[in-house]
A and B are shown apart, each in its own frame.
Chain A
């Protein structure tokens, strides 16, 4: 099992972000939230004390806003309430502007062994456009610090396809990121939801997205470059040094169960997806006063739907889906069940079957929705 812990606070919300987070005004609120979170962990630990955790992922928001004490209490409580397996991956998402030597030492002490840095770009004009609170210099300093303290397992997030971005500038950011020797690189095509500030700017014509040919070319060039640098391309948007896949995220794509802790966090268990109360005050109040776990069911899947979920998630992985394993797990032979669809897209050069694995071709990744939507019931 893996646990995701949501820390829904940011110094300032980024212009492109549609994740659930709030600007943190009052530092003391983080304490209240932490207390509620600890309550949730205790309640759920009591419900299922024998859960063995292979991974913990602190995401947000900006989990690096937590101070050492808060972080420590969260991980300590988890260790007390569940079974934390030896060698478990414990990741934390951090904003480069929020890390310093002391913070890093506290994280190390709390048990964090993987850091994911929201770099996004190495150019200040692009960072300003995105509304990030850090600048390129802060990124370099933070990475320097990681190196000094002996960190090997860290990820850098990058965004490409920004309005006005040239291929050249994107590749410069990417090269600079690779030169920082991260164990992991996530490169995300900018996709804006309409309610975000940037989304509105695009809708109103103040910003213009790149055309899809340019976006595809940026992706294609990035794949080629990172391959040359001996990164494994293991998921549509994710690359890593051999053996450094994000184990927690792999759970999602392998359609394995996970626990979501914190306001708005989603759990997947026993064929259902459940979402914790997303409204911060409600979440905190329910847990602090009533000592109840505020959750509602998002969706309950039939055996068939669980199977299609596993299919569309599994195909995000470059290794694809092991057809034998899949058959054992769901009793369905994909190649006969979806014979026509597979034949059509194999013919079209988007899908392939190699060594008993159904997977996208390189040309297929960027057109994956064309195929995936065909598998939806």
Chain B
């Protein structure tokens, strides 16, 4: 049975055509009729389709009759292609024996792709190279193939030229999957070991887990045990995704599918956990996933104060299939009750926030994002700060440290100068530079994480016309000269707007933020004075003049209905504001203070 199964992932950079290729594989193998087909089928979230990126992996089972006449089951586990989600890529890869590496024929390998391929190689996955978009005018498939050979050691003769858009080379891809990816090698007769690689909550069936069975087998009605908690459940339904949920009798070693067991508490199906049979348990769990630590924190507050419980519930639900999401209740003088949330990066933050708003009908306010600082206090204790509000006073701090990353940037060599300049501006220190081919370079810099979080990626793209790509990993904490900047509205510190800045740049940032707030805070009944301060020292000031005009010049019998609509709209607009003292602050202000264009 297992020798007819192939489990594989697709590794690709955003925009290199991964989701389109997945669409073609679905169509070619007949998993979907043309009528059912729509673009980016496996990207289940509207958000993904809108942004044109894949965030959440979505498994699918394909049936393929190979040229050798045999029918194979191919389990595709799609992967996200953004640096924030490296962790999810590794989840997918751990459930596969092979990976399909897709590279854009005019872009070449990107830094993030490279990192993911290394992950796959570490897990001993068979790698199939494919050069996509060969139909485009700028395509240089031969150069890219050569790059794949130089950088990754793939045989350039074996790299497949394809066009997912036109459907060129799809059959060759499927043949390569069958021929070059080894079948799973599990023990079908042994005790059950199945890995939960994803899960979500269904209001009727409870938690649904996506699983990969490594050893043994699983049937409906079995009593299963979660190896991390020893909690037991009866299997209510098992099935495969082809691509719609289809019930099956059993899932055995090598197979991928879903499981529902009436699990009501989302915490009982932890991603990375191993499932076994209660009657004949395995003696140890599969190597789980590394616990990921959030990189960036921000406060999320409901605009309506009584939505706090609703927000908690929504976060609980999202946490189910996103182990990397962290949250705990906190309160703010300005904003009331909310949660301090931890994310893998800013895209992750943005996605969670949008999902909370769309899927759970919440209106949220996000505070300025912050990394986790490490502070040695004068009493010798160590203190981690995720929320600038908790920054200790200067006289109590001995040493302040911030997280640093090693950033790898791949770029055509003509942009080396521009990139080095950018990294210097962002307090980076040069590590190495190496030539991948005669035109492509990989530059490595050490940078504070806080500097690359906000606008580094955009700046990199704009200074290299989109040609450079970035990957980074945390390398640890280093001492830094940091200060807390407070923002005051009409003399009152707004705790939710406080943030940490490097001392050398605090003045510049304070000016820029105060100026930005002046632009985004609308004129209102009273003048609004905006100030930035370090401790008690004011270092920047702006003001928003009092509003002068907000009136309907005319209101007569014929247009009362219309004029009322204008007032209704205005009232709606007020709902998007947070009242802080006497000041109405647009809810986006808290996030946007961070996106300040440098110089």
Residues of A within 8 A of B (CB): 4, 6, 19, 188-191, 212-213, 215-216, 236-237, 249, 251-253, 258, 260, 264-266, 268, 273, 298-299, 309, 312-313, 316, 348, 350, 365-370, 372-374, 376
Contact = CB atoms under 8 A, between A and B. Distances in A.
B549 A348 contact: no
Contact of B547 (A212, A313, A316): A212
B552 A369 contact: yes
Contact of A252 (B547, B556, B568, B570): B556
Nearest to B547: A367
A191 B554 CA distance: 9
Nearest to A316: B555
Contacts of A370: 524-525, 547, 550
Interface stretch (B100-108, B397-405, B488-496, B559-567): B559-567
Contacts of A253: 555
Contacts of B537: none
A374 B571 CA distance: 7
A79 B549 CA distance: 43
A309 B560 contact: yes
Contacts of B558: 4, 6, 19, 260, 264-266
Q: Top 10 A-B pairs ranked by shortest CB distance?
A: A216-B548, A212-B549, A189-B553, A373-B570, A369-B550, A212-B548, A373-B567, A373-B571, A266-B558, A252-B557
B560 A252 contact: yes
B545 interface: yes
B490 to A, nearest CB: 13
A268 B556 CA distance: 12
A376 B550 contact: no
B312 interface: no
Contacts of A312: 564, 567
Given A313-B555, A348-B526, A368-B550, 17 more contacts: A4-B557, A212-B548, A216-B548, A236-B551, A236-B553, A237-B553, A260-B558, A266-B557, A266-B558, A268-B557, A273-B560, A299-B561, A366-B550, A367-B547, A367-B550, A368-B551, A369-B550
A312 B549 CA distance: 17
A256 to B, nearest CB: 10
B525 A348 contact: yes
Interface string B424-441: 000000000000000000
A298 B551 contact: no
Given A212-B548, A299-B561, A376 B554 contact: no
Contacts of B551: 189, 236, 365-369
24 contacts: A189-B549, A191-B552, A191-B553, A212-B549, A216-B549, A236-B552, A249-B556, A252-B557, A265-B558, A266-B558, A266-B561, A268-B557, A273-B560, A309-B564, A316-B555, A365-B551, A366-B550, A367-B548, A367-B550, A367-B551, A369-B552, A370-B550, A372-B567, A376-B564
Nearest to A251: B557
A367 B525 contact: yes
B574 interface: yes
A375 B560 CA distance: 15
Of B524, B547, B556, most A-chain CB atoms within 10 Å: B556
Nearest to A264: B558
Nearest to A265: B558
A369 B548 contact: no
B525 A366 contact: no
Of B524, B547, B557, most A-chain CB atoms within 10 Å: B557
B525 to A, nearest CB: 5
Contacts of A216: 548-549
